[in-house]
Chain A
Amino acid sequence: MNVIEVKDLTKRFKGFTAVDNVSFQVAEGEIFAFLGPNGAGKSTSIKMMTTILFPTSGSVKVGGFDVLTQKNEVRESIGVIFQNPTLDDDLTAYENLNYHAILYKIPKDERKKRIEELLGYVGLLGKKDEYVKSFSGGMKRRVEIARGLLHSPKILFLDEPTLGLDVQTRAFLWGHIQKINKEKGITIFFTTHNMDEAEKIATKIAIIDHGKLLMTGTSGEIKEKTKTDSLEKAFLELTGYGIREDAGDGLDRMRRFRR
C-alpha cells in the first residue's frame, strides 16, 4: 500500500518554478530518500507534503489524505523534523516537548512518562529543565528528534536531518531511524544531498534537480540504468557537474539585521 502519493506536483514562486511536475509513490514501511543538490526543490516538496506550503497544481496524498482538503488528518498522521531548528529557544527542553504533547492531544497522564522516556532515549533527560538556547546544534537536533516521535506518527519526514551534525549524533540518528522503521513500521521520508546516507539507509531513492524528478529506484536500479558503478557517479551523470547556490534561510536573513 502506498502511504504517500504525489501526482504532477508543481510549485511556482514569482519568477521561477521550484517543483516542476513531480510524481512518485512511497510504499508503507519504506525508507525513501529524496536526493538532490542544493536548491533542487527538496525542502519545497517536503513543505507541501506536510501541509505548510500550498501546491500551485497537482495532488499530494499522505496516509491516504489530501494535503489541501484533509489537512488535519494529514497532520495527525505525520511527524516532521525540519531542516532548520523549530524549537523555542526560550523554553526548556521539557516545555518544548510538553507543548508538542498538548498540541498532539497526548493524554495528560501519559505526557510526563513519554516525554521523559524519549528525552532519556536521546540522552538528554538530565538536561530536561535547561533552556534550549544553552544547547549545542547536535543537542537541539536530538530534542527535535525526540519531539518528532513523541506522538508516534505513521510517517516521519526529515528534511536534511544530518546537516551540521557530528559523526556520533549522525550515527545515533540513523540507528534510531532504522530501528523505529523496523520495529514500529513507521514510513520514513527524508531529503539529503549526501550520497552515502541515501545509499546506506534508504530502501528507495528519488533523484531530483531543478525541481524535476530525474530517476526513482533502489540504488542498484539507478546504477544499472545510468550504467555507472557508484551512486555518486550516477548522480553526477544525471544532475551534471555545475556548482549550485544555496538559498538563505530564516536565520541568514536574521543575521543581516545584526549589522
Chain B
Amino acid sequence: MRGAVYVMWDRQIRQYFRKKQRLATSLMQPILFLIAFGFGMGSMFEQTGNGNYMQYLIPGIIGMTVLMSSTMNGISLIWDKQFGFLKETLVAPVSRTGLLFGRCLGGATTSTFQGIIVLVIGLFMGFHITNWAAIPLGLLVMFLIALLFNLLGTSFAAKFDDMQSFPAIMNFLVMPMFFLSGALFPAKNFPEAIRVFIEINPFTYCVDLLKYALNGASTYSPVADLGIMISLIILLGALGTYLFDRLET
C-alpha cells in the first residue's frame, strides 16, 4: 500500500514540475478571472453595499483553480491507459486502493500548490489576509477540495478511454458547479430555482469553507461544510476503489 501510494504521488509531482509550460499556462485562466471580474465588477459590487469585492472573489478563484486542475488530473489516467503505463501498475502486487489514492494525493498536492500561487497573486491584487493564523486551515481546505475533485475526475477517467471527450464532459460538469456556487457572487442574489441548484452543489460548501478560512466569514456552518466534504471524499474514495478493482486493460 505504502509503496503504491508513494510511487503514484511522487510521479504526479515530478511530472507537474517538469512541464513548466503547462504550469505557466494553467495560471492564465485564474489571472484573467481576477482581472476581468475583480476590477471589472468590483466597483458595482461595492456600490450595492456588499463590501470589498476582491476580498470576496479571491477565495472563489482559488477554489476554481483547485476545482478545475483537480478534475482535469483525471486525464493522466486516460493518458496512462493509452500509453501503456497503466499496465505496469495494474500488474504489480499492490493494492488498487493504494494506486488510486497515490494518484489523487499527488494530484491534490500539485493542485494545492497551484491554489497557493493564485493566493500569492491575489495578495498583490489587493487581497487582505485578516488572520494569518487561519492560513494553515486555508491550505488544508484547498487540499481537501483538491483531493475530492481528484477522486471525482479519476473515478470518471476509470470508465473513459477517450482523451478528447473527457475534458468536454468534465467541463460540462465543472462549469455549472463553479458558476453556481457562490464563488463569484453571493448565493442570495440568485433567483429561487437556481438557489436550489446552488444548495445541492457540493462545490458551494467547498468554496464556503475556503471563504471562512481566508476571510473569516461564511454562509453556512463551517463544521457542516467540512462534514459534507469529508463524507464526499469517503464516498468517492469507495467508488473509485470499486472502479479501480475492476479496471482491466
A interface residues, Cβ below 8 angstroms from B: 47, 50-54, 72-73, 75-76, 78, 80, 82, 84-91, 95, 99-100, 102-105, 147, 250-251, 253-254, 257
B248 adjacent to A52 (CB under 8 Å) = yes
- Report Cα–Cα, A94/B93, bound state, in Å: 20
- Report Cα–Cα, A61/B92, bound state, in Å: 17
**B residues less than 8 Å from A54 (CB atoms):** 248
B85 adjacent to A88 (CB under 8 Å) = yes
**B residues less than 8 Å from A95 (CB atoms):** 14
**B residues less than 8 Å from A53 (CB atoms):** 248-249
CB closest residue in chain A, given B94: A103
Contact of B170 with A by CB under 8 A? no
Contact of B82 among A82, A100, A251 (CB under 8 A): A251
A82 adjacent to B18 (CB under 8 Å) = no
CB closest residue in chain A, given B85: A88
Known: A88-B85, A250-B81, A257-B163. A50 touches B91 (CB 8 A): yes
Contact of B93 among A76, A84, A89, A90 (CB under 8 A): A76
B15 adjacent to A75 (CB under 8 Å) = no
A102 adjacent to B7 (CB under 8 Å) = yes
B92 adjacent to A104 (CB under 8 Å) = yes
A75 adjacent to B83 (CB under 8 Å) = no
Interface core residue of B4, B11, B90 (most chain A CB under 10 Å): B90
CB closest residue in chain B, given A54: B248
- Report Cα–Cα, A87/B80, bound state, in Å: 10
**Could you list 20 A-B pairs, sorted by A, with CB under 8 Å?**
A50-B91, A51-B90, A52-B249, A72-B93, A75-B93, A82-B87, A85-B83, A86-B84, A86-B86, A87-B85, A88-B11, A89-B83, A99-B7, A99-B10, A100-B88, A100-B92, A103-B89, A103-B92, A104-B93, A250-B83
**B residues less than 8 Å from A78 (CB atoms):** 91
Known: A91-B11, A102-B3. A85 touches B93 (CB 8 A): no
**B residues less than 8 Å from A87 (CB atoms):** 84-85, 88
Interface residues of B in 1-38 (CB under 8 A from A): 3-4, 6-7, 10-11, 14-15, 18
- Report Cα–Cα, A73/B94, bound state, in Å: 10
CB closest residue in chain B, given A157: B91
**A residues less than 8 Å from B164 (CB atoms):** 257
**A residues less than 8 Å from B89 (CB atoms):** 103
**B residues less than 8 Å from A52 (CB atoms):** 87, 90-91, 248-249
B4 adjacent to A82 (CB under 8 Å) = no
B88 adjacent to A102 (CB under 8 Å) = no
B4 adjacent to A254 (CB under 8 Å) = no
A105 adjacent to B249 (CB under 8 Å) = no
Contact of A253 among B14, B82, B91, B92 (CB under 8 A): B82
Q: How far is the CB of B127 from chain A (nearest CB, A)?
A: 35
Q: How far is the CB of A182 from chain B (nearest CB, A)?
A: 25
- Report Cα–Cα, A137/B4, bound state, in Å: 27
Known: A91-B11, A99-B7. A250 touches B82 (CB 8 A): yes
- Report Cα–Cα, A250/B83, bound state, in Å: 7
**A residues less than 8 Å from B249 (CB atoms):** 47, 52-53
- Report Cα–Cα, A238/B187, bound state, in Å: 73
- Report Cα–Cα, A147/B89, bound state, in Å: 13
For the complex of A and B, the 3 pairs showing the least CB-CB separation, nearest first, are A75-B93, A86-B84, A103-B92
**B residues less than 8 Å from A89 (CB atoms):** 83
CB closest residue in chain B, given A96: B88
Q: How far is the CB of A206 from chain B (nearest CB, A)?
A: 22
- Report Cα–Cα, A199/B116, bound state, in Å: 62
Interface core residue of A85, A99, A105, A254 (most chain B CB under 10 Å): A99
Q: How far is the CB of A18 from chain B (nearest CB, A)?
A: 13
B82 adjacent to A254 (CB under 8 Å) = yes
**B residues less than 8 Å from A105 (CB atoms):** 3, 93
CB closest residue in chain A, given B90: A52
- Report Cα–Cα, A82/B81, bound state, in Å: 13
- Report Cα–Cα, A130/B11, bound state, in Å: 16
- Report Cα–Cα, A52/B10, bound state, in Å: 24
Interface core residue of A52, A53, A91, A253 (most chain B CB under 10 Å): A52
